[in-house]
Amino acid sequence: LTSPMVNGVAGRTVSLFNRRGGSGDNLNNTRFDDEASTPIANGVAPFAGSFRPETALSAFDGLNTAGGWILRITDNARGDVGRLTNLQFI
């Protein structure tokens, strides 16, 4: 997740999760929250509930939130196909 560019300066990037879940699939009603009791690294697919992201979202504290945010999703596993069906920022 990358925050908006401000005055020509690239936004800050935070990794929500990376290569988690093994052969399991899906994030269902998953919330990334720095205050969650379980790190995403300790979660099990399908991920449901609140998890601490790989990189703390507090990295965005104090930044301007106005503008275009970028959520980059990649699936690097062979033979896998994924899709984003619903996303909500709160």
* 3-state SS class at 41: helix
* The two structure tokens encoding residue 86: 């619903």
**Is residue 61 scored above 90 in pLDDT?**
yes
- Dump pLDDT digits (tens) for 16-48: 999 888 777 788 889 999 999 999 999 998 999
What is the pTM for the complete model shown? Answer: 0.84
9 against 37, higher pLDDT: 37
**How far is it, in rounded angstroms, from Cα 82 to Cα 52?**
22
β-bridge pairing 27-32 and 47-51: parallel
Rounded to an integer, what distance in angstroms lies between the CA atom of residue 25 and that of residue 65?
31
